[in-house]
Amino acid sequence: MRDYYNIKINLPGGIASPGYLKDILTAAWNANVRKVRFGSRQQLLMSVFYEDMRFLEKDLKKSGIFYEMNTDRQPNIVSSYCGEEVFRTGQWLNANEYHSVLDTFDYDPALKINISDSNQSFTPFFTGNLNFISSPEPHFWYLYVRNKQTNTVYKWNDLVYTNEIGRLAKVIEGCMLSGDCCGAESLHEAVQKKIRYVSQPALQDLELPSFTLPYYEGFNRYESRTWLGLYRRDEQFPIEFLLDACALCLKTRIGEICITPWKSLVIKGIEDQYRADWSNILGKHNINVRHAANELAWQTEDHNEDGASLKNDLIHYFDKNDMRTFGLCFGIQTKAKSEVFGSVLIKKRPLLQIGQLSMFHVYDIYYTENFNPNSRTQLLFEKGLYKIHVAAQLEKLCRRFNNQRSRENFKVSLQETDETKLAIKIVEFIYQCPDCLTVYDPEYGDATQNIAPGTAFEDLPETYCCALCDAGKATMIATELNKSTLSELPA
């Protein structure tokens, strides 16, 4: 029997004032909690032993702080505000605009809502049920709707004005939760009957930015100030450290602490004269910064030791083998209905289910279309792996991603080559393994497998495989070979 409660406190938009956070942490300390976590939806999480829960309840109610215990009926509103200024700034979207949006919510949403800058890739676009994304038109937002427990996203007919977002979201939520609206058209019609709001036609689709995960830890300079990113390997932040951080924010007039979807913190606006004070706090509590970038690119489920343990094992393998993971982010899903954000997804599932008892688990590896984590299309890479084999298959997938990027960059460089050098060319095809880049050239055949020179790729037996890594014939990619211009290319 569980002898503790999992407590969740929403921090709308991932924004917490130091004073508000200090009240929560003080109540937690009085209930004998010594560490807290931050969730993938930018909420504060803690585990409290049942005999101490009465103390926490008393203090939170006294401060008027809403919390949920062992439930998630009211998901937090996620926003990309944590990256505002320090990573990417939209053409018109700024801090005041984010606050204006959040102020329009006069209710606690029962659906997941995301507020995103379309020019960034630090926070997810479509992990919500209602996803508002900035458009090229100032103060107007795209809306992409996703029904609960589905993977299908559809665009709302209109661009929504900033000051209407909360009011519209409330009506849409009511229609969706009533169960009367089954599709995009019926939902739009039902909403139009209930509310009139400022909008304009959404004439063009959203263009997803290419994914890059900025390095979000340590002291970093921007404009004339510094921001500090804080990540913890075990995802747990000591309350004593956070209380000191809140006190220093209050002392130095820093009004906000930002929580990221990567379960980390960002503190903006540190003035030069206080930089040493922040370093002293980190030293006092033995807080390390500047972890490896491949360790920061992971998401696991909240309150899940199993996923966190697997993450640490895989990171250790990546470090040992000096793997390149730039441009990728990874998510670990151990529960069927949970959601994690990633361009590569590791999903745990039972081979045998007897009632509520799951036995003999295996792992499936998926990757998103074009390796963009905001894509809702997931492609299967490997299925039914034992835990011991997951790391090696991830390494293989990373090689495939890097090879794909190399080919794309190579094609771009060819397009930029002097047109006169490309005027005369003899185009032939070779067939390249996507994993190790080994080539089958029909002109030479494959002596290692007794394939005679001049044998066309189409004439190879279906059992043919890569001579180096045994990848199947079906996976090999046709690539143009321009023999007349190979000498023109730089070495």
Q: E strands, 185-264, where?
A: 199-201, 218-222, 225-230, 237-238, 257-259
DSSP run (H or E) holding 312:
helix 305-320
Task: Tell me the C-alpha distance between 398 and 263, whole Å.
Answer: 24
Task: Tell me the C-alpha distance between 80 and 101, whole Å.
Answer: 12
Phi-psi category of residue 186: left, alpha or beta, with phi > 0 → left and psi -120 to 50 → alpha:
alpha
Is the separation of the CB atoms in 287 and 241 below 8 Å? yes
Q: What is the pLDDT of residue 423?
A: 42
pTM for the whole thing? Answer: 0.84
Q: What is the pLDDT of residue 2?
A: 61
Task: Tell me the C-alpha distance between 92 and 138, whole Å.
Answer: 6
**Other CB atoms within 10 Å distance of the CB of residue 390:** 22
Phi-psi category of residue 370: left, alpha or beta, with phi > 0 → left and psi -120 to 50 → alpha:
left
Residues in the chain predicted with pLDDT less than 70, given as ranges, are 1-2, 89-90, 409-427, 481-491
**Whole-number percent of the chain with pLDDT over 70:** 93
Interval 2-36: pLDDT, tens: 689 999 999 999 999 999 999 999 999 999 999 99
Is the separation of the CB atoms in 133 and 142 below 8 Å? yes
Q: What is the pLDDT of residue 414?
A: 54
In order of 78, 101, 134, 171, 179, the CA distances from 208 in angstroms are 18, 22, 12, 27, 30
Burial classification of residue 42, based on how many CB atoms lie within 10 Å of its CB (0-12 exposed, 13-18 middle, 19 or more buried):
buried
- In the structure encoding, which two tokens stand for residue 157, read together? 């007919």
Nearest CA among 37, 77, 40 for reference residue 298: 40
Q: Mind giving me the DSSP string for 415-466?
A: HTS-HHHHSS--EEEEEE-TTT--EEBTTTBBGGGTBPTT--GGGS-TT-B-
**R_g over Cα of the chain:** 26
Q: What is the pLDDT of residue 433?
A: 84
Q: Provide the angle, in degrees to the nearest 10, between the axes of the packed helices 18-30 and 239-251.
A: 150
Sign of the four-CA dihedral 114, 119, 124, 129: positive
Cα atoms found within 13 Å of the Cα of residue 120, Cβ hemisphere only: 25
Q: What is the pLDDT of residue 413?
A: 55
Q: What is the pLDDT of residue 284?
A: 97
Backbone angles phi, psi at 382, to 5 degrees: -140, 150
